[in-house]
Structure 1
């Protein structure tokens, strides 16, 4: 059996349902442990994880349309926040740092406390890129570093980002568990059978859990709804960007030509860029996307958006 919406055999992990089912349930905790350990590459070995309530992170309801998260704690009390981010945000780095503060602050103790903290890891699986100039650099590990000495100043706060569109290894090029996990995340919904390169026991469990034919009626209905939301979101964003880019560019060129001088050309291009953002915001707004999400994607203020 395949999904009647797409013909897929396996669940799409870029949907809210797929991500939470594979990595956010107690019965599939082994998958999450294997994935996280593959990221640490032997530097940290996690034996067990405890799922924590994501409401502790204080995430806004609007984030749910673009970000799915799993929040957990290892046997040493270290906090691990894993996010699947399918939508690009203008202030992505700011948002990532902001949400890292919640696992830090919740460690505070009343009364006598020496401020010792457990490590916090923020893992971002990104369905977009933020460093276009280097197509091979997709795995980022970020810590607080002393600028002069280049030494790590504080080793208990780590950000790991995976720019998934840049991972293009084929099955024959997979070398280790890290490669294999990224291959699965990038290609799972496109596969019609389990690849020969993925013979580890953990992948046996993953492909069994991900097979749509084994879903209950309720699971299948929830997945269909999640898949529709994912596709609607992707189509809305891409269509609005494409149309506004074309319209803004054309209008900007016309303004530049009318001026006939270099200043006019520059102003025309700038005007075109602004018109492009405005047109994009109008389309987002007409599609029912919240003003704060529109602001993150266009650079306009929420006040400007409300007046459109």
Structure 2
């Protein structure tokens, strides 16, 4: 059995970065990711599920959604499989968070910044940035000068991080290395240099999970493996239309399986890409 949990399953990712008891990990990671720009001392978790204003609109379920002590909104997303419109989805998430800052009545349009940080844990394809880290800002096309700091995207393509342990020279390098290799590690590297990794080791230690937590973790790993198998099967079938149908059928099969384990509907929706309404129909 692996010493540490796989950080890229839905449940594990939220355990490490999306819980009140582990928010010190999130704060330290964000400070290294935004080194020289921001120094966050605290975050407040917001509701991960954003309901639509009307029945015709789609709701949103975030992986991690928080607000910093200085008012910035930060969305952290983790994606394990390629998706045709993943970049568009991140734009939609940011735009929705900006629009929702509007208040009724007289308003001067003052906005607080929105950051979207995306872990892309899948092989490079035509929909993926071609380097490990891509930072996107609203800037002048010719000069590159930042025009507004109100919206920011950071894409981290995990397979493109190639550094070995001895090549990790920055604090952020150490973070990415540990996250990428965590499931195969026997001891968490860099603990001597950075005490936060001792804390990460405690949170991610599979031997400390309760029976209920172990079941949730196993469930989330099953979702991750099933989603990958569905995607690969549809990919091998070739035709795009057939691929879409195959993936849709596979997602529904996964959802039905998870319902038998009493998995919360919002977790199933986030894991499979099905809407909450579609899952409720399957449940019936």
Q: Secondary structure at the match of 2:49?
A: helix
Alignment RMSD:
2.6
Counterpart in the other structure of 1:280: 243
- Could you report, residue by residue, the CA deviation over 1:154-185 in whole angstroms, capped at 9, with x for unpaired residues? 12210000011101111101111111111122
Measured in 1, the distance between the counterparts of 2:47 and 2:67 equals 11
Measured in 2, the distance between the counterparts of 1:70 and 1:54 equals 6
Counterpart in the other structure of 1:46: 40
Cα deviation for residue 113 of structure 1 reads: 2.0
Measured in 2, the distance between the counterparts of 1:143 and 1:41 equals 16
- 1:203 corresponds to 2:166: no
| Aligned partner (choices 5, 18, 27) of residue 21 of structure 2 | 27
Counterpart in the other structure of 1:151: 145
Report the structure, 1 or 2, having the larger helix content.
1
Cα deviation for residue 23 of structure 1 reads: 0.5
Q: Which aligned pairs between 1:72-221 and structure 2 lie closer than 5 A?
A: 72-128=66-122, 129-130=124-125, 137-196=131-190, 199-221=193-215
Whether contact under 8 Å (1:143, 1:159) holds in the other structure is yes
Cα deviation for residue 289 of structure 1 reads: 4.5
Q: Cα 1:74–1:133, aligned 2, differ >3 Å: closer, same or farther?
A: closer
Q: Which moved more, 1:46-55 or 1:232-241?
A: 232-241
Q: Which moved more, 1:72-81 or 1:48-57?
A: 48-57
Counterpart in the other structure of 2:228: 234
Q: Secondary structure at the match of 1:111?
A: coil
Say how many residue pairs are matched: 251
Measured in 2, the distance between the counterparts of 1:218 and 1:160 equals 34
Cα deviation for residue 282 of structure 1 reads: 4.1
Counterpart in the other structure of 2:276: none
**TM-score, normalisation: structure 2:** 0.80
Q: Cα 1:55–1:279, aligned 2, differ >3 Å: closer, same or farther?
A: closer
Q: Cα 1:279–1:134, aligned 2, differ >3 Å: closer, same or farther?
A: closer
Q: Cα 1:177–1:57, aligned 2, differ >3 Å: closer, same or farther?
A: farther
Q: Which sections of structure 2, spanning at least 5 residues, go unmatched?
A: 254-269, 274-284
**TM-score, normalisation: structure 1:** 0.74
- 1:244 corresponds to 2:199: no
